[in-house]
Structure 1
Amino acid sequence: MTPLEEEIRALIAAEGPMPVSRYMALCLGHPRYGYYITRDPLGAKGDFTTAPEISQMFGELLGLWAVAAWQQMGSPDAFHLVELGPGRGTLMADALRAARLVPAFGAAAQVHLVETSPALRERQAQALAGIEPSWHDRLEEVPPGPAIVIANEFFDALPISQFVRGEGGWHERRVGLGEGGELVLGLDPRPSPMGEALARHVPPPHSHGAVLEHLESGVAGALGARLAAQGGAALVIDYGYAASGLGDTLQALRAHRFADPLEAPGEADLTAHVDFAALARTVMAAGAAAYGPLTQGDFLVRLGIVQRAERLQQNTNASQRKAITAALNRLAGTGKDEMGALFKVLCLCDPLFGTPPGFGADEAFAEPDA
């Protein structure tokens, strides 16, 4: 039993079963035993790998996208360049290196990293030596002003609630204790009004046992309100689905393999697929505009990843060219199990921003099932 599991069991014994959202929050962010608090989870020795760690091309293209967005904002003399959940700092380092093509952008950018993990903050400081970024625990701590925000694989790790369709309506799923004291999933016997409200956005049928998920965090609303009031744009890149739907997507990753989410709390990464339609509705309700989502593959191709790969392959040996091609295929491949298809890109922006770089005017968000 992990120390965190022992604590969670004690909490449940004292207070009763807890919502899935609270369980996720404890597993990932407990101040002493939380998964992200205690380790660098990335790379071969960790539990998963993200796009910036696969190839420099990913961060470089997002850096050039940020330059184009800044120019579309009127090239303000000062703005906030913000990354939510910046991992090892690789994406931001690659983005800033590519952005050196426009020196005025770097001079205007004030870099902010929203990160709660002490271990990852240390890695970010190493990757961004000489940049002197500012760190924050929450988006709301970033000073006011126009901003360009990047959130790559951030929203999938935020706590979700789950509701299960029963005979009497939608019941919230909770984590409780089994007969032997082990952690088990169960249902609140009372129907949930929140579940009923959320289900209105999901096409029928809502069959018995169907699972409905809801992102608990207020980050999306805060981001939309900030962009609407203070200007700027944000890119959200994550795996998920374009239209709101049903399904249990809560998963745990440990040593690059799927694990039981209730096993070894605090020792595995917990994530859930992002509902991009729900995310867009939230930011639009806060006053911002939304474009997309596009597949990651389409977006990177539009930004020029094929041409960048060809440029990197010049004056390299066969092994290096093969590695660059493999990275290109992994990031932008269109197979159903490849990142280029699984991951989506949603752009959020000030309503006066106009059509964001990489998107078409006809790609303003609309409910996919409308």
Structure 2
Amino acid sequence: MNDHLSLSDLINVQIKAQGPMSLSTYMNLCLTHPTLGYYRKADPLGRQGDFITAPEISQMFGEMLGVWVAQIWQQMDKPKKFTLAELGPGRGTLMADMVRIFQGVPDMMDALSIQLLETNPVLKQAQADAIKGTPLNWVEEIHQLADIDGPLIVVANEFFDALPIKQFQYTNGNWFERVIGLKDDDRVWGLSPTPMPTDAFPAKIAKPEENAIWEMAYPAQKNMEELGALVAEKSGAILAIDYGYAETQTGDTLQALEKHKMVDPLAHPGAADLTSHVDFEALSETLDRDKLNICPLISQKDFLKAMGIEMRAQAIMDHIPDARQKVENDLERLIGDKQMGQLFKVQAIGSKNMVPYPFEAS
């Protein structure tokens, strides 16, 4: 294709040549096009970027996840070798904060091998700069983790929400896929003319309201299935933190963020971050319940409080009194009911007989 065309032009050319485009195809191109995709270009994080993740708000978030990982390692009787894999590690801030905790746990750093699932070369360099003093390994696909030795602990903070989805709309008694077409060279929403078989949809949404939208995140489900199979085989645990819902439901949750503002998802391909809310029930249904312990969801607030974030905040404020206001503000953002505290959910999955604290057995 012509190197001088924008991603917007390339998408329009493809629609003209092949007909209306699935949302999953559109998201894939927007986020991961080899040269023009959002995640393949510059660093999208932080105040100069499009969004701020919890690790960028405060070191306390990463430290609490580090405490959780250290605890899992101890629950597994401190194996001499284990792998910690982070999916979508951003600038490396979260892993750097976790490693700082591990350095205070006897023998843990000697046992640790870090694997980072990352495709963005700019972020890979940022991760290398942020995480000093311990060797790093990078993978681009989950199946590459199959080669590791020892148990596997996986941390996925705001990873699943960024994977492509399909949307379906219920109209006149049938489900139709929502697709993206062109009207006078502007991208617009439309519906596939072919109705989908009703039995392809979850029973919970069998009788929705007219024009209800249901989202299906096949890549997220596939990734969780692969991770679950690896943890079942090698032993270990998975921790997934994301905004989403506990039970499958209808609703249009697709959103685009550009420079911290909501924009039209169809307007600026490759320039905005596209995300959707995570259907945690759909993710858990991909897992083998005979081989894994799928813990009930808890809120980010309950998770961080159980891991000791309030005590950590107090310790920082005692040590640096001038930081009190910032620490209090950061804590409120992370655990406040009207901030991230309730919106973000935390899912833990343990290998057989593993019930990760502070979660309950399934």
TM-score, length-normalised on structure 2? 0.95
- What CA RMSD, in Å, does the superposition of the two structures yield over aligned residues? 1.6
CA deviation after TM superposition for structure 1 residue 283, in Å: 2.2
* From 219, 232, 242, the counterpart of 2:236: 232
Aligned to 2:113: 110
Distance in 2 (CA, whole Å) between partners of 1:183 and 1:196 is 31
Aligned to 2:266: 262
Distance in 1 (CA, whole Å) between partners of 2:290 and 2:264 is 36
Aligned to 2:162: 157
One-letter identity of the residue aligned with 1:141 = Q
Structure 1 residues 360, 168: CA separation in 2 closer, same or farther (over 3 Å shift)?
Answer: closer
CA deviation after TM superposition for structure 1 residue 175, in Å: 1.2
Aligned to 2:15: 12
Aligned to 2:42: 39
Structure 1 residues 57-72: aligned runs within 5 Å: 57-72=60-75
The reply on whether 1:176 has 2:187 as its aligned counterpart is no
* From 300, 309, 312, the counterpart of 1:296: 300
The reply on whether 1:333 has 2:326 as its aligned counterpart is no
Aligned to 1:214: 216
- For residues 324-365 of structure 1, the C-alpha deviation after alignment (integer angstroms, 9 at most, x for no partner) is 011111101122xx1011000000121232x2111133xx2x
Structure 1 residues 286, 28: CA separation in 2 closer, same or farther (over 3 Å shift)?
Answer: farther
User: % of aligned pairs identical?
Assistant: 45
CA deviation after TM superposition for structure 1 residue 129, in Å: 2.7
One-letter identity of the residue aligned with 1:104 = D
The reply on whether 1:357 has 2:352 as its aligned counterpart is no
Structure 1 residues 45, 177: CA separation in 2 closer, same or farther (over 3 Å shift)?
Answer: same
Structure 1 residues 326, 2: CA separation in 2 closer, same or farther (over 3 Å shift)?
Answer: farther
Distance in 1 (CA, whole Å) between partners of 2:156 and 2:319 is 33
Structure 1 residues 286, 170: CA separation in 2 closer, same or farther (over 3 Å shift)?
Answer: farther
Distance in 1 (CA, whole Å) between partners of 2:334 and 2:199 is 37
CA deviation after TM superposition for structure 1 residue 287, in Å: 4.4
**Contact in 1 for aligned 2:113/2:135 (Cα 8 Å):** no
The reply on whether 1:74 has 2:77 as its aligned counterpart is yes
CA deviation after TM superposition for structure 1 residue 64, in Å: 1.0
One-letter identity of the residue aligned with 2:19 = G
Distance in 1 (CA, whole Å) between partners of 2:63 and 2:201 is 38
- For residues 95-127 of structure 1, the C-alpha deviation after alignment (integer angstroms, 9 at most, x for no partner) is 010111213111111000001111111111110
Distance in 2 (CA, whole Å) between partners of 1:22 and 1:241 is 24
**Contact in 1 for aligned 2:301/2:335 (Cα 8 Å):** yes
**Contact in 2 for aligned 1:170/1:196 (Cα 8 Å):** no
- For residues 226-260 of structure 1, the C-alpha deviation after alignment (integer angstroms, 9 at most, x for no partner) is 11122110100000111111100000000100000
Aligned to 1:197: 200
Greater displacement, 213-222 / 258-267: 213-222
Aligned to 1:367: none
TM-score, length-normalised on structure 1? 0.93
The reply on whether 1:148 has 2:150 as its aligned counterpart is no
CA deviation after TM superposition for structure 1 residue 183, in Å: 1.1
2:128 alignment partner, SS class: helix
CA deviation after TM superposition for structure 1 residue 205, in Å: 4.1
1:349 alignment partner, SS class: strand
**Contact in 2 for aligned 1:283/1:348 (Cα 8 Å):** no
Q: Which runs of 5+ in 2 are unaligned?
A: none
Greater displacement, 100-109 / 230-239: 100-109
Structure 1 residues 72, 163: CA separation in 2 closer, same or farther (over 3 Å shift)?
Answer: same
Distance in 1 (CA, whole Å) between partners of 2:248 and 2:211 is 17
One-letter identity of the residue aligned with 1:187 = L
